[in-house]
Amino acid sequence: MLIDAVLVGYLAATLLLLVVALSTLVWMVDSWRTPESVAMTRFPEPDEPRLSFSLLVPARDEEQVLPTTVSRLLESDHPDFEVIIIVGHDDPGTSAVAERLAASEERVRVVVDENVVKNKPKALNTALPLCRGSVVGVFDAEDEVAPSLLRHVDTCFRATQAHVVQGGVQLMNFRSSWWSLRNVLEYFFWFSSRLHLHARKRFIPLGGNTVFVRTDLLRLADGWDPECLAEDCELGVRLSSWGARVSVAYSPELATREETPPTLKGLFKQRTRWSQGFLQVLRKGEWRRLPTRRQRLMACYLLTMPFMQAFSGVLVPVSVVAMFLLKAPDLVVMATFLPLLPTVATVAVEAVGLHEFGRAFGEKVRLRDYAKLILGTLPYQLILAAAAVRATTRELQGVRTWEKTAHVGAHRPVMLDDPQESVL
């Protein structure tokens, strides 16, 4: 009797894993589902620029990378934009750099965030009332932005009648370590496939940067949620629930280039923050207002995804080993392997994605990179799983502090010293 109950529970868990693994695979390849759909993920060809932009760059302890980022932004070929750097009142180093940049260029302004407890959404909200452009764009202090991006976004807004345009973001330093390779691929599939699907289904968690929102809408929405650890996702969910049209466009040459966190610990903390942020968005419940049941289901599923992935990441290998050791009935053992099938197919698709990434960004992908990709699957899953568990405990304990990711500039081609070398 007890054994039966255990078996039934076990099979139910296996079924859940199968669903998670299948949906991961299906959503991952969504952009390549037909030859025509591949072309649809691109930005439309730009026409004469018409809109004006306010580009927000929150910066905290970023004096090292900020000047390059801002000067790249200023190289943009769009005629009408301003850059607003947001610094903390307790961060004199970054403030000094920002003031220097503002002094030398009239399109740059500096806003000081006076909040006692600081985080990214509060910084963004501080700058929102001062924005002069009709569209607000968000960039991180280490971002490397393509000069022609704004013109494309300008066209995209008018061509698609969108309220929000989400551009591509791509981590670049896939050679830094085994996990950075996987991290890079996650971004590749997220921005080139997953987000397009979510935009089509009209439920989308937005990205943290290269995201553009109509200023009037953003003001109507009272900006970002200052208490949320995943303010980008929260804004996306809130705007989706109001029926906002989001256009996602990904052209590799226009993608904003970024770096992975410098250490595995950094990645772990970042992932904890995201997972906890998703959990907060789930608890906040804005997604319940989504108009169709299918959207609500998708929202609920997506927001709990880190936890399901955590669960599957741990359970798949454990169950395979356990089944061989415990001598369960043959059919149960067979069932255990079912979630493994889409998982293996996912790894195969990831390998193709790595090749595609190399082609799109002109990076040479070597055989050992593919080996790292395959061998890294399980440990990476375990790290994500651990982060999800940590996020849950933090949320339950009410610890909601912002663990900021450090930036060293590993995504930029020329580096004097490369601290990534010491990582794992």
Partner 1 sequence: MSYQTELPPLDLDLDLEALERAVAPTPRERLERARQRLGARFRRDRLDLTVVSVLLVVAGWVHARGMYGSPARFDDEGTYTAYAWAVPNLHRLAHYTYWYAHPPLGQLQMALYNEVTDAFGRLPYAVATGRELALVCKLIAVVLMFRLARRLGFSRVTATLAVCMFSLSPLAVYFQRTALLDNLVTPWLLAAFFFAASPRRSIWAAAGSAACFAVAVLSKETALLFMPAVMLLFAQRTDSRNRKFTLTMFVSVVSLLGLLYPLYALIKNELWDGPGHVSLEWAIRWQLFDRQGSGSIFDPGSTAHTVVTTWLSLDRWSCAVCLLAVVPGLLFTRTRAVALAFAIQVGSLLRSGYLPYPFVIAMMPFAVLTFAGVVDVVWRWSRLSDRLPWGPAQARSRGHVTVTVLRTFVGASVASVVVALAVLAAPSWRYGLQDLWTHDRDAGKATALSWLKSSTGRDQTLVVDDAFWVDLVRDGHPARKVIWFTKLDVDKDVDLPAKAPWRHIDYVVLDHQDALSVHLNSDLTPSPDTKNLFPTLGQALEHGRIVASFGAPQDRVMIWRVSHTGASAAVAAGTATP
Residue of the chain from 13, 74, 264, 345 that contacts partner 1 (CB under 8 A): 345
Token pair 């889409």 is at which residue?
A: 342
Question: Which of these ranges, 89-97, 344-352, 385-393, 395-403, lies near partner 1 under the rule CB under 8 A?
Answer: 344-352
Contact at 8 Å (CB) between 306 and 253?
no
Interface with partner 1 includes 34 (CB under 8 A)?
yes
Reference 189, options 11, 347, 18; nearest CA is: 347
Nearest-angstrom CA–CA distance, 130 and 201: 33
What HEC string does 132-161 produce?
CCCEEEECCCCCECCCCHHHHHHHHHHHHC
Residues 128-157 that bind partner 1 (CB under 8 A): 134-135, 155, 157
288 counts as binding partner 1 under rule CB under 8 A: no
C-alpha 178/C-alpha 381 separation (Å) is: 13
- Contact between 232 and 238 under an 8 Å Cβ cutoff? The reply is no
Where does this chain touch partner 1 (CB under 8 A) — which range of 138-146, 272-280, 348-356, 413-421?
348-356
333 binds partner 1 (CB under 8 A): yes
Q: Which of 33, 132, 265, 366 binds partner 1 (CB under 8 A)?
A: 33
DSSP letter at 148 equals: T
**Gap between the Cα atoms of 306 and 121, Å rounded:** 22
Q: Does 35 bind partner 1 (CB under 8 A)?
A: yes
- From the list 255, 71, 225, 50, the residue with the least C-alpha distance to 133 is 50
**Candidates 45-53, 89-97, 274-282, 375-383; binding stretch for partner 1 (CB under 8 A):** 45-53
Q: Is 244 in the site for partner 1 (CB under 8 A)?
A: yes
Task: Rule CB under 8 A: say whether 300 interacts with partner 1.
Answer: no
What does the radius of gyration of the chain's CA atoms come to, in whole angstroms?
A: 22
Q: What is the dihedral of CA 182, 183, 188, 191, to 10 degrees?
A: 140
Torsion of Cα atoms, 259 then 260 then 262 then 265, to 10°: 160
Judged by CB under 8 A, does residue 361 bind partner 1?
Answer: no
Report the residue from 8, 130, 220, 415 that binds partner 1 according to the rule CB under 8 A. 220
Q: How far apart are CA 386 and CA 310, in angstroms?
A: 7
Please identify which residue in 330, 364, 396, 421 interacts with partner 1, judged by CB under 8 A.
330
Q: Which of 140, 143, 144, 356 binds partner 1 (CB under 8 A)?
A: 356
Least Å distance between CB 286 and partner 1? 11
Sign of CA dihedral 250, 257, 413, 270: negative
**Who's near 60: CB < 8 A, 6+ residues apart?**
87, 88, 91, 94, 118, 123, 141, 404
Q: Judge whether 224 and 277 are in contact, CB under 8 Å.
A: no
Using the rule CB under 8 A, give the single segment among 139-147, 327-335, 383-391, 409-417 that binds partner 1: 327-335
Q: Which is nearer to partner 1, 34 or 397 (CB)?
A: 34
292 is a contact residue toward partner 1 (CB under 8 A)? yes
Cα torsion for 305, 303, 190, 264, to the nearest 10°?
-70
Alpha-carbon span 306 to 53, nearest angstrom: 34
Count of chain residues binding partner 1 (CB under 8 A): 44
Which segment (58-66, 241-249, 267-275, 369-377) binds partner 1 by CB under 8 A?
Answer: 241-249
Binding residue for partner 1 (CB under 8 A) from 7, 264, 300, 344? Answer: 344
Binding mask 79-108 for partner 1 (x = CB under 8 A): ------------------------------
Residues making contact with partner 1 (CB under 8 A): 29, 32-35, 37-39, 44-45, 47, 50-51, 134-135, 155, 157-159, 161, 163, 214, 216-217, 220, 242-244, 289, 291-292, 330, 333-334, 337, 341, 344-345, 348-349, 351-352, 355-356
